[in-house]
């Protein structure tokens, strides 16, 4: 598995991260097989959140991997906190500290490699977040910090008070949900796609060495559905299938390879719990699309060039 450096940290991570939001749907034996296969493929970066399954997903993962000190050193664990489902977002010091302790207990580990703030909190007090991060890092409970779904101004405000760099920003991105890319291509036009909806977050992350972690890399909307093998995207699937044949891989592999071809050196978070699809995703690390192929896929998804 190819690796990249996560932001400005010293952490080398696989170019594909394994999302564990759906692990709750697996039987114990299926979960064990899935985690074992991930590790065999070199995909040892696992993404969690305290709200996934109400915390149950972290517990299932710990059992599936047979967590122990020896096993823990072979893993890179990331979790997220800050969402109180259906009620609010909470970046208070108390909530962050309590959430991390809960995740550590459920994951049966003493530390997280990375902690992300899960979506922006309108009432965030960055000084308080900084205090929480200092406590967690000082206690050895969290080694690196990041955010999720934040724009450049929100990141800059937070970074102003942090003593350590924000290493990653987890953002929704796929060829069929590519506003982060299309607004840059369509700049200085009257096209609706030129509207800056995220403050130029992709360029900001590149400028400040923040690794973008695309989530829902197969979705065409916010949980609206996947574009692969979907009749709503005939041209896109035809082009992806054509390239899949040319490269001798699956359409899943090509969809992930499209993200990996971008020079931002992203780390897609794969949400599948299917072992074969996991293999197909990991294989994308060995496929490098040409510039022309990348644009062919981009255009086939309905994106435009001025």
pLDDT value at residue 224:
84
Catalytic site positions: 52
Q: What average pLDDT is seen over the chain?
A: 97
pLDDT value at residue 17:
98
Instruction: Please spell the DSSP secondary structure of the chain, one letter per residue.
Output: --EEE-TTSS-EEESSEEE-TTGGGS-HHHHHHHHHHHHHTT--EEE--TTGGGGHHHHHHHHHTT--HHHHTT-EEEEEE-EETTTEE---HHHHHHHHHHHHHHHT-S-EEEEEEES--TT--HHHHHHHHHHHHHTTSEEEEEEES--HHHHHHHHHH-SS-EEEEEEE-BTTB-HHHHHHHTTTS-SGGGS-SSSSHHHHHHHTT-EEEEESTTBSSSSS-B-TT-TT-HHHHHHHHHHHHHHTS-HHHHHHHHHHTSTT----EE----HHHHHHHHHGGG----HHHHHHHHHHTT----
pLDDT value at residue 85:
94
260-287 residue pLDDT tens: 999 999 999 999 999 999 999 999 999 9
For the chain, give the percent of residues with pLDDT over 70.
Answer: 100
179-207 residue pLDDT tens: 999 999 999 999 988 999 999 999 999 99
Report residue 88's pLDDT band, with 50, 70 and 90 as the boundaries.
very high
Architecture of domain 3-300: Alpha-Beta Barrel (3.20)
Report residue 222's pLDDT band, with 50, 70 and 90 as the boundaries.
confident
């Amino acid at each position: 598995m190819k690796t990249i450096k996560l932001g400005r940290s010293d952490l080398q991570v696989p170019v594909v991260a394994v999302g564990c939001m759906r692990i709750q749907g697996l039987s114990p034996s299926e979960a064990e097989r899935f985690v074992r296969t991930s590790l065999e493929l070199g995909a040892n970066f696992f993404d969690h959140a305290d709200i996934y399954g109400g915390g149950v997903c972290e517990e299932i993962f710990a059992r599936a991997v047979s967590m122990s000190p020896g096993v823990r050193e072979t893993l890179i664990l990331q979790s997220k906190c800050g969402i109180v489902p259906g009620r609010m977002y909470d970046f208070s010091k108390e909530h962050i500290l309590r959430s991390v302790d809960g995740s550590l207990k459920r994951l049966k580990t003493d530390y997280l490699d990375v902690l992300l703030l899960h979506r922006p909190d309108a009432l965030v007090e960055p000084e308080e977040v900084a205090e929480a991060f200092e406590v967690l890092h000082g206690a050895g409970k969290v080694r690196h910090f990041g955010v999720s779904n934040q724009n450049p101004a929100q990141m800059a405000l937070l970074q102003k008070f942090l003593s350590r760099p924000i290493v990653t920003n987890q953002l929704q991105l796929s060829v069929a949900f590519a506003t982060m890319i299309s607004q840059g291509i369509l700049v200085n036009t009257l096209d609706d796609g030129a509207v800056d909806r995220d403050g130029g977050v992709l360029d900001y992350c590149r400028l400040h060495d923040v690794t973008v972690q695309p989530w829902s890399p197969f979705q065409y909307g916010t949980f609206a559905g996947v574009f692969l093998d979907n009749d709503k995207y005939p041209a896109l699937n035809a082009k992806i299938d054509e390239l899949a044949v040319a490269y001798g891989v699956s359409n899943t592999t090509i969809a992930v390879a499209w993200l990996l071809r971008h020079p931002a050196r992203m780390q897609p978070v794969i949400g599948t719990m299917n072992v074969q699809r996991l293999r197909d995703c990991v294989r994308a690390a060995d496929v490098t699309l040409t510039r022309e192929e990348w644009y062919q896929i981009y255009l086939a998804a309905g994106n435009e060039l001025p």
